[in-house]
Structure 1
Amino acid sequence: MSDLFSPIQLGAIEAKNRILMAPLTRARATREHVPTPMMVEYYAQRAEAGLIISEGVGISRQGLGWPHSPGIWSDEQVEKWRPVTQAVHEKGGKIVAQLWHMGRMAHSAVTGQPIVSSSATRVDMKLHIHAGKEDAETARALTIAEIAQIVEDYGVAARNAMQAGFDGIQIHSANGYLLDQFLRSNSNFRDDEYGGAPENRIRFLKEATARIIKEIGAARTSVRLSPNGDTQGCFEPDPESVFVPAAKMLSDLGIGFLELREIGPEGTYGSTDQPKIHDAIRKVFNGPLILNSDYTRSQAIETVANGTADGIAFGRPFISNPDLVTRLQKDLPLAPWNIKTFYTQTEEGYTDYPTYGK
């Protein structure tokens, strides 16, 4: 039996507890996707997490379609990330960069480039742009040569992340973004080696992961999957047929840990009646397994204690509770978040949430 508040080895990363800060888009970078000083304070405030997984970090201009989100493809971005990682380390924390390509969830009004995906599809949603929200655009199917270039972009981004002082990276292969668009049958209609059978649909993820491992090592590489439910228009009617082989492939590659974001019937960010499949994934993935989505304190403690997972990632509670680990450990009440300030560009609702008692 393990304790939620006990240390854990996540690949090469020694985490002081099993509470991870999940990736949270907060839109506090510049319009040119460069990290800002207020991000230094924000992440440092939350350094008591066993491991911080950064907000989604764009691997290229093509892949980053969210206004004021940070990237990591340029020297300037790398330089401005260094104070963030240094501040977290000075507070005794660990932080990995979540590498992000949005695929059809990006908008050309932000990227300045045509939108791409696994196939020529469009998600029926309005997407964030600088001027507000606009309908999503129809994506163009990537060519095989373009897929190879994006795999290389992942490798360069991982190298940049290590130069910026991150302890490792997480590949964002969840939530309806590019790699997830390849995994699921309702968004991938390809008839080449990247479509059709599950082993073909997981090929892009396998190649991107292998490229990053070549760059920074398997022990500093992790992956996020969201195997059940409809996530931003991506749906798989038979999740076990795709995500269990994907998890087995990642286990064979020896990644440091795997995070699953599984939604339930009444989630704060999506809902589904499709069952969770972490038990099936647990059987084939040999490394540490982290679960995520709407866990209460008691559920998190029990889930780790009974061995269902090795740790729990919390998202929105970390927004309004920078001292979330302390509050969970001492069973203190949690402060509510203000959704109106999730994606603004000011310190309000970002760095001004107090610790308990202040």
Structure 2
Amino acid sequence: MTQTRQSPTAGSRLFSPARLGPLSLPNRLVMAPLTRNRADADGVPGELMATYYAQRASAGLIIAEATTPNAVGQTYPHIPGIHTPEQTAGWRRVRDAVRDAGGLMFLQLQHGGRIGHPDTSGHLPLAPSAVLHPEPLHTPTGLQAAVTPRAMTEADIRSTIADFADAARNAVAADFEGVEVHAANGLLLHQFLAPNTNLRTDAWGGSLDGRIRFTVEVVRAVTEAVGPQKVGVRISPGVEVNGVTEPDTERLYPALLAALAPLEPGYLHVEYADPDDPGFARLRTAWPGTLIANPRLSREELAADAGAARAERLLEAGADLVALGRGFIANPDLVERLRTGAPLNELRPEFLMHVHGPEGYTDYPALTRESFAAV
């Protein structure tokens, strides 16, 4: 089933070329990182993932899904990693397929922190503090109650920072243009930022400077490992998911951005960006470099226009690039569909996560040449 929509106005900036550091992007539409659980049991990407990403290579930039920098950081089953030779080789095959299709890719690096389970990773989860995740977690045998994580020692923190740097080197060795450090959505870096999950009283917690320190040091290590232009950072200000709470968002993120800016990462990626939110305007003012905005869309908005109208408004509000997620899931040729006003495929949400195989993954059809001609 498809949904029809009006084409954006002629000359839209969405479809104009853009620069991202040394990269020339063919358009300003970014495929957001999207967890799909299609790696094998050892976290190795296979041919199915290569096909999926190659189908979507017309995006100005693909940010590949959350990928773990070490074994203990794994969140759910069939999440890819980038910490073993086999995983790195698997990602290289994916990257080769996308490059052959003309696409550019960054790889998102994500450590789950307390969002992990021994039955999945083989390890007791590590987190800033021993604070239990409030909801059940997916494991190889189904939903199970979360386990209380172990509070990270100084040695754990230092080794995890080093693992992020090593993972970035592996990603560049696999021919990615760069990496995105995931500091959003209640994962490990966000757990350090949030006061309800970071109860530490040492230099890695307590004060605002202490809570932002881990994220800053991870980004520092990654930029030193692969160069700042190959590094992006994803944040989700005010988004209270996975049990994190942010009572001081308006103080937290200006402090974080002020500490990150001197490291000169290639971009800042803001999740759930709203062009009408004064907070987004403040972030745009505070961030000196490239800003990618990822709008929050309801299912109704997605069905109506896959975010095209919101993307236009975010560019007008100061974003340099706009990341869309579910629109790219259902439409491998989303850029051309939006450009021409062609019909959109309907998303099948039952196949988004915690399933495997091609259904709802690589079987969304692209429009035929005849369909484009008719539009």
Q: Which residue of 2 aligns with 1:294?
A: 296
TM-score, scaled relative to structure 1: 0.93
Q: Which residue of 1 aligns with 2:243?
A: 233
Deviation at 1:262, TM superposition (A): 2.2
Q: Distance in 1 between matches of 2:98 and 2:358?
A: 18
TM-score, scaled relative to structure 2: 0.89
Which residue among 352, 356, 359 is the counterpart of 1:345? 356
Q: Which range moved further: 341-350 or 4-13?
A: 4-13
Q: Which residue of 2 aligns with 1:277?
A: 279
Q: Distance in 2 between matches of 1:61 and 1:40?
A: 22
Q: Deviations over 1:15-68 (max 9, x none)?
A: 211111111111111111111111110000000111100110110100012101
- Work out whether 1:9 is the aligned partner of 2:12: no
Q: Which residue of 2 aligns with 1:201?
A: 211
In angstroms, what is the RMSD of aligned CA positions? 1.6
Q: Is the 8 A contact 2:272 2:296 kept in 1?
A: no
Q: Which residue of 1 aligns with 2:4?
A: none
- Work out whether 1:129 is the aligned partner of 2:131: no
Q: Which residue of 2 aligns with 1:103?
A: 113
The structure-2 alpha-carbon separation of the partners of 1:263 and 1:309, relative to structure 1 and needing over 3 Å to count, comes to closer
Q: Distance in 2 between matches of 1:276 and 1:184?
A: 21
Q: Which residue of 2 aligns with 1:74?
A: 84
The one-letter code of the counterpart of 1:340 is: E
Gaps of 5+ in 1: 265-274
Q: Which residue of 2 aligns with 1:267?
A: none
Q: Is the 8 A contact 2:281 2:317 kept in 1?
A: no
Deviation at 1:89, TM superposition (A): 1.1
Deviation at 1:258, TM superposition (A): 0.5
The one-letter code of the counterpart of 2:13 is: D
Q: Is the 8 A contact 1:56 1:99 kept in 2?
A: yes
Q: Deviations over 1:64-107 (max 9, x none)?
A: 12101110101111111111111111111100110010001111
Deviation at 1:281, TM superposition (A): 1.4
Moved over 4 A (4+): none
Q: Which residue of 1 aligns with 2:367?
A: 356
Q: Distance in 2 between matches of 1:10 and 1:54?
A: 16
Q: Is the 8 A contact 2:68 2:81 kept in 1?
A: yes
Q: Distance in 2 between matches of 1:11 and 1:246?
A: 22
Q: Distance in 1 between matches of 2:101 and 2:165?
A: 29
Q: Distance in 2 between matches of 1:116 and 1:237?
A: 24
For the residue of structure 2 that corresponds to 1:258, the secondary structure is strand
Deviation at 1:312, TM superposition (A): 1.0
The one-letter code of the counterpart of 2:91 is: W
The share of aligned pairs that are identical, in percent, is 40
Q: Which range moved further: 327-336 or 199-208?
A: 327-336
Q: Distance in 2 between matches of 1:35 and 1:42?
A: 11
For the residue of structure 2 that corresponds to 1:255, the secondary structure is coil
Q: Distance in 2 between matches of 1:276 and 1:47?
A: 33
Q: Distance in 2 between matches of 1:247 and 1:9?
A: 21
Deviation at 1:294, TM superposition (A): 2.9
Q: Deviations over 1:187-215 (max 9, x none)?
A: 11110111112111111111111111111
The one-letter code of the counterpart of 1:223 is: V
Q: Is the 8 A contact 1:171 1:223 kept in 2?
A: yes
Q: How does 1:240-319 map to 2 (within 5 A)?
A: 240-262=250-272, 277-294=279-296, 296-304=307-315, 306-319=316-329
Gaps of 5+ in 2: 1-10, 298-306
Q: Which residue of 2 aligns with 1:151?
A: 161
Q: How does 1:179-194 map to 2 (within 5 A)?
A: 179-194=189-204
Q: Which residue of 2 aligns with 1:165?
A: 175
The structure-2 alpha-carbon separation of the partners of 1:2 and 1:182, relative to structure 1 and needing over 3 Å to count, comes to farther
For the residue of structure 2 that corresponds to 1:150, the secondary structure is helix
Q: Is the 8 A contact 1:240 1:280 kept in 2?
A: no
Deviation at 1:13, TM superposition (A): 2.7
Q: Distance in 2 between matches of 1:3 and 1:118?
A: 42
For the residue of structure 2 that corresponds to 1:262, the secondary structure is strand
